[in-house]
Every structure is written in C-alpha cells, then in structure tokens.
Structure 1
Amino acid sequence: MDLKDEFALIDLLTCGGQSTHWQRERGVGVGIGDDAAVAGISPGCSLVMACDTMTQHVHFASWSMRDEDIGFKAMASNISDMAAMGAVPRYALIALSVPKGTDEARLQRIYAGMYECASAYEVAIVGGDTTASISGIVITVTILGEVEAGRALLRSHAKTGDAVFVTGALGGSAAGLALLEHAQRSGAAAEAAIQAPLLQALALAHQRPAPQVAAGRLLLRTGLGRALNDISDGIASEAAEIAEASRVGLAIEEARLPRPAGLDAAAQLLDTPPLEWMLYGGEDYQLLGTVAKEHVHELEAAFEEHGLKLYVIGYATDDFSGVRLLRADGTVEPLAKRGYNHFATKD
C-alpha cells in the first residue's frame, strides 16, 4: 500500500498500541491528537532537551539495517543524550520526512522499532510531524527528559587528577558497520563469513545500541560522577570535548581500553587496526566521564552492585594539552579530535 493521505498515515503510525492510558501512565496529560502535547515534570527537576536526525544514505541503508533497527537506533541515539546528562528520558516527538510512494508497511516497521526502544526506556512518544521529502527517508527525534535541578552532569566538570572511565567496550559499532559494508561489497560468501556469533554481535552493536541510562543515573545519584559525555562520534572526539570544556588535559591508556569480543577477528578479516575503530569509530553510545581519583573504588563497587560495567582508562592532567594516547609500547602521541563529521571534506 502506498502513501496517499498524511492524516491517515499519522493515525496508522501513532495509534497502534499507544492508548491514552499508556501515555498517561508516563505523565502525558494531552497526547497525540491535539496541536501540541501537554506533559508533566517531576517537582524539583529541570527539563533536559536534545534532538538528533537520521538520514537515509548517510546514517542507514537497506543493507546495513532492517527497518525496525532504523527506528530503534533513531530513538536510542536520543536516549543516550539523556544518559550523558544523568537525566531520565520522558517524552519524544518524531518528525518524519519520506518520499512519495514509500510503502506504508516499511514505515510501520520503522515506527515499531522506535516504539520498541521507547518502551524499553519508559519514553512516551507524544507527537511530531510528517512531510514529503524529495529523496530518502529522514527521521528527526526530539527528546525531553528531566534531571534533579542543578545536578545535571556536564562536560565541563572534570578536575585535574580525576580518573577517566568508560562504561563499556569500544569499537563494536564501527567494526559492525565495516563488516556489513564488506558483506554488501563482496556478496554472499562474505555475508556467510560474518554469520559467526562474535561477528554478528558486532553488527548488532551497530544496529541496536544500548543507551546507558542506568549508568548515567547511578553516576548522578552517587554524586561521584563529574564530567560526562556519550560516545556518539568516537572516544577521541568526545574526550577532546571534555578536555576543552573543563580546561584539562586527558591521558588515555591504550592498554586499558575495553574491546568487545570479536573485534580482533573482524580486524584480521578486514585488515583494519582495531584501535582505529575504538578511538574514532563512534556510535558505541557508552558513557565517557571522570571521577575523583579517591572515589574510583567506591564508584566501581556501586557499578558492580548494580550489574553495570566501569573501566578506568586514564586520568586528567593540568597542562591543558588536549588528549594524549599513552601507547602500549610506552610512547605518547597526541590524540587528534577526530570522529565522524558530516561536513568534513573527503579526498
């Protein structure tokens, strides 16, 4: 069935399973169906807002993600921004632009993925907009959350001597995308080669990232988290943002960077240094942050108690020298602020 009527499409995509009762349980007073949504915010909290866009041929293609994965990831990337502030994600607005003639069943699958992710993190989808596009599908998610007033975790709070940590393995999403690209270029034989469970897990890391909301909330509740950022564009870029905002240097130890299972096998298959994916690949949606050195063991114990991961990977210095990589062989090199850049020129 092809698109014929905007209002019928809105009804199709937003009403399935999204009852008034379901929304009101999540603090929505007026939901989809009026000119704007009306929702509550908890006493003593501040509003937290973020917005991200995913564009066909830039962020996704039919060979890299199923339609459900596209929707899931569009929502997950926004929820991750909430996690990076220590906030609770609450409400989302979806702006969808699609070419005329797009199959409605495809859009239903994309929205099914968005609702799946939203439900997993207790986010209510409360409205949005639909328009035609000249070429390709464009999905913009605006997310609203809340955090205890005056307690949001910021990039600018790192202090000299802090330990630098991440909440999970690095490079899995970039390696997964590289494997999917390899399969697309090389055909059936390559596609069969990446069906091994460890390599499949890397592809899944790209398609279905897991925002670290629980970790962000724990960092805020314990009062031990200082600076915080989510890893969307690569740890090198995100570390540089913390260093710049906090006016400190960051030293990252190569030997302590956590890597996902299967990364080395993927690197061997594709003849790519795994460190390239770990430092610059991005879209891991783990959290990168700092904690006072004297509180490291206390924070590690809190994470372990809640079944969460925490890896100390370096420390903050007072020389404002940006980010340095301490190599496993003992050498030190500047770590360029390099990650995914939409507007970078290519040779």
Structure 2
Amino acid sequence: MRLHEIGEFGLIARLKEIVWRADPRVMVGIGDDAAVVTYERPVVMTTDALVQGVHFTSETMTPKLTGAKAAVATLSDLAAMGAVARHLLVTLALPPDTDVEEILAVYRGMADVCNMYDATLVGGDVVSTGGPLVISVTATGELLDKPLLRSGAKPGDILFVTGDLGGSAGFLHAFFADRLAMLNPLDQSLLRERHQRPTPQFIAAQILVEEGCTSLNDVSDGLASEAHEIAEASGARLVIEAARVPIPPALRAYARLGRLDPLDFALYGGEDYQLVGTVDVRSVGRVLARMQAAGVRFTVIGRVTDGAPGVELLAQGVYQTLEKRGYNHFGAAFRGGKEIR
C-alpha cells in the first residue's frame, strides 16, 4: 500500500498505534494541535535530521533500523548534556508513493528506542515532498543536575572517551568499496553492528554528572571534530595519544587487509555516538571504577594542557597539530570511493 492511498490522517492513525505508551508526564499526546507535557526539572531540547541518500541508504539500513538510529542520534545529544530522555517530536517529509509499511517500520524502530530509554513520542508532522525521505527528530529531556557543557576543560584534566571509535565509518568504507568479504563473518557482523545499532550513552552520562565531569561532547562527527569543539569552547589545548584511542579489533583487521590507517576512521569518521570529555585528574580513578562496574568501556586517551586552543595528536613520540576534520554537512564526504553522506 502506498502513502497516497491512505493519506495523511490514515497514516497518523497507524503511527499513533505503534508509538503509544503510558506516560504520566503526558497530559495531551498525539491527536490534538499540540502535545502537553509536564516536567519537574530544567528541560534540555535538541533536534537532528536524517536525509535518505545523505545520512542513510537502503543498501545498508532497513527502515526499522533507520528509525531507531534517527532516535538515537538525537537522544545522544541529551546524554552529552547530562540529561535523561523524556519526549520526542518527529517530522517526516515523504514522497507520495512511499510504501506505508516502510514508514510503519521506521516508527517501530523509534518506538523500540523510546521504550528502552523511557521516552514517549508525543507528536510531530507529516508532509509531502518531491525529494528523498527526511526524518527530523526533536527530543526533550530533564537535567540530572547542572548541564554538562563543552566549555569546562582546564589544564591538568584527563581526556577520555567511552566505547570504541571508527567502527561505523569502517563498515561504510568496507561496504561501498566491496571489501566486506575480506573479513571473517564475525568481524563483518561487529562492524555492521557499530553502524546500524548505536546506543546513546545515558549510563555513562549519569556517572559523569555525579562525579563532576568538566566537559563533554558526543562523538557524532568524528573524534577530531568533537575534540576541537571542546578545545575551542574551553579555550584549552587537548593532546590525544594515538596509541590510546580505542579502536574495535574488527576495524583493525579491516585496516590491515586494506592497508589503511584505522585511526583515520576514529578521528574523522563519525556516527559512533560515544562520549568524549574531560575529568579532573583526582576523579578519574572513581570514574573508571564506576564505569567498569556499570559495564561501560572508559578509556583515558590524553590530557588538557596549557597553550593556545587546539588539538594535538601524539603518535610515536611526535606531536602534530590535528586538523579539525570530520563529517561536515556542507563538505564532500566520500566512503569507499562513493559519496554517501
């Protein structure tokens, strides 16, 4: 069944059935001119958008995975601010001949993420477009304490990341270069998982709020770009030790086979949705212990030093200025010889 056969209101009725969940914070949900919700603490708001053929493609993502990832990309910003998720508003721009089942699958993916992180989709908009599918997600959350900003790093702080980096970009590179078959099935699966099923780092964020994190950013556009944002906002100089950057073994295997540098994927790839930030050196032991107890990978990758704002990479004993590169919506980005973003 195509979208033009059921129309806007027929689609909304079906979507409402998928995303409805009991939420005492929702006074008015889908079905009126606007949603009405209640909050007890300061509210954090963020928005993100995915465009088919730019941010995702049917070659690498199913509709359900795309919906889940669209929600995660937005929720990741809430985690980076030290907030918990509360509500989502979703706008879809859809070609009239879109398969209705694909749209429902997108919302099932979003609903799964909402259920996992106690968030509720309370409304949005549906419009027609002659262009590609566009998914825009606005999310609200409540602060756990003070907001975690990019601007608090100071000399002497420790620089860290959660999880590992580069797997999503590595998967896209391998896929579009027709090199996935070079890897064993387990490594293929691990890289695919990094790209298709990221997770917002709410557990890590809660620990960082409680332990006094000095700055924080989510890794959506690559470690180099996000580190520069912290350096510029804080007026500080960051040093990243190349040997400490956590890279998944599957990506290292792919890089060896393709004679590539796996660090490039971590620094410039993006879509990892991990957290990079700084903590006071006196707190790092407690933070590490709590992260390990919670099952969160936490890696010290460098430090904050005196000097002009910027980022340096220390590799094999040599310091070099790290360019502010990463995913840029208005700059060409090529993966595997094919422009996909």
Per the normalisation by structure 2, the TM-score is 0.94
Q: Secondary structure at the match of 1:344?
A: coil
Select the residue among 13, 25, 49 that pairs with 1:11: 13
TM-score, with normalisation over the residues of structure 1?
A: 0.92
Runs (4 or more) in structure 1 with deviation over 4 Å come to 190-195
**CA distance in 2: counterparts of 1:316 and 1:271, whole angstroms:** 32
Matched, 1:155 2:153: no
Distance verdict in 2 for CA 1:287–1:179, change over 3 Å? same
1:37 corresponds to: 35
In the alignment, what sits opposite 1:51? 47
Which stretch has the larger CA shift, 243-252 or 195-204? 195-204
- Which residue of structure 2 lines up, in the alignment, with residue 165 of structure 1? 160
* Matches of 1:142 and 1:240, distance apart in 2: 25
* Structure-2 separation of matches of 1:137 and 1:65: 13
Report matched runs for 1:147-226 at 5 Å: 147-148=143-144, 151-183=146-178, 192-194=181-183, 196-222=185-211, 224-226=212-214
Q: What is the aligned partner in structure 2 of residue 187 from structure 1?
A: none
Report the equivalent of 1:129.
125
Relative distance call for 1:108 and 1:309 in structure 2 (3 A) is same
CA distance in 2, matches of 1:321, 1:129: 42
Match of 1:102 in 2: 98
**Residue 24 in structure 1 maps to residue 23 in structure 2:** yes
Query: Equivalent residues in 2 for 1:1-347 (5 A)?
Result: 1-4=1-4, 5-16=7-18, 18=20, 22-25=21-24, 27-42=25-40, 45-148=41-144, 151-183=146-178, 192-194=181-183, 196-222=185-211, 224-327=212-315, 329-344=316-331
Partner-residue secondary structure (3-state), 1:157: coil
Between the aligned partners of 2:19 and 2:91, the Cα distance in structure 1 is 19
1:16 shift after superposition: 2.7
The 8 Å contact of residues 91 and 125 in structure 2, kept in 1 or not, is answered as: yes
Supply the AA of the counterpart residue of 2:198: P
Please say if residues 247 and 263 of structure 2, whose CA atoms lie closer than 8 Å, have aligned partners that are also in contact. no
Q: How far apart are residue 191 of structure 1 and its match?
A: 5.6
User: Does the CA contact (< 8 Å) of 2:71 and 2:113 recur in 1?
Assistant: yes
Structure 1: unaligned runs, 5 residues or longer: 184-189
| Equivalent-residue separation in structure 2 for 1:107 and 1:140 (angstroms) | 13
Is the Cα–Cα contact under 8 Å of residues 82 and 144 in structure 2 kept in the other structure? Answer: no
Q: Write the letter of the residue equivalent to 1:24.
A: D
* Percent of aligned pairs sharing the same letter: 44
Q: Distance in 2 between matches of 1:314 and 1:293?
A: 11
- Judged with a 3 Å threshold, the aligned counterparts in structure 2 of structure 1 residues 255 and 141 are, in CA distance, closer, same or farther, namely same
- Does the aligned pair in 2 maintain the 1:64–1:181 contact within 8 Å? no
Change (3 A) 1:208 1:145: same
Aligned residues: 332
